[in-house]
Amino acid sequence: MTSSGMIVVTVLLVGIGLAVLSRLIQTVSRPPFTWLRKLLDIPVGIALPSREPSDALYYRQYPTRLSLNVPALILGPVWYLLAGLWVHVSIFFSLVFVSGGLLAPFVWVYCGFKANEDLLEFRVSRRSVY
C-alpha cells in the first residue's frame, strides 16, 4: 500500500475511533467526570439555552460572533468532544493532521471564539423539525 493510501486509512480509522468514543461517552448512564461536566456548564459570556423551552431557542437573538469561551479556549477540540459536537472534532483533528500540526494554534483559537455559537446552533438544530 502506498503512503497516501496509508494516510487515508489512518484518517478513516481516527474518524471511526472518534465516532465510537463519542457514542460510548453518550451511552454511559452516569458520566465519569461529573465535575468536568459541571465546569463546562458554567455560563461564560452568554447563558446557553439548555433548560429553556424550545420556542425560546428559536426566537432569541443569537450570540454575538466571536464571543470568548475560556474553557473551550483552554481545552480546544476536547471541549467540543465533551459537548457532543463530534463532527466538529473530526474536522478539527483532520485539519491538524493533514497540515502536520501547523494549523493547531488556529484550531485552538477558533474553538475558543466560536464555541458558544456552535453549541447554540447544535442545540437549535437538535430540536428542529427539518
Mean pLDDT, residues 100-129 taken together? 86
The phi, psi pair for 9, rounded to 5°, reads -65, -40
State the pLDDT at residue 104.
92
State the pLDDT at residue 11.
86
| pLDDT surpasses 70 at 53 | no
> pLDDT (tens digit, 9 = 90+) per residue, 2-11?
777 788 888 8
State the pLDDT at residue 93.
93
Mean pLDDT, residues 77-89 taken together? 90
Residue 105: pLDDT band (50, 70, 90) is very high
CA distance 74 to 23: 24
Which of 62-71, 77-86, 117-126 shows the highest mean pLDDT? 77-86
Pairwise pLDDT comparison (53 vs 87), residue with the higher score: 87
CA distance 96 to 88: 12
The phi, psi pair for 49, rounded to 5°, reads -85, 50
| pLDDT surpasses 70 at 83 | yes
| pLDDT surpasses 80 at 96 | yes
In angstroms, what CA-CA distances link 59 with 40, 107, 111, 117, 128?
25, 30, 25, 15, 13
Cell (9 digits) for 48 = 446557553
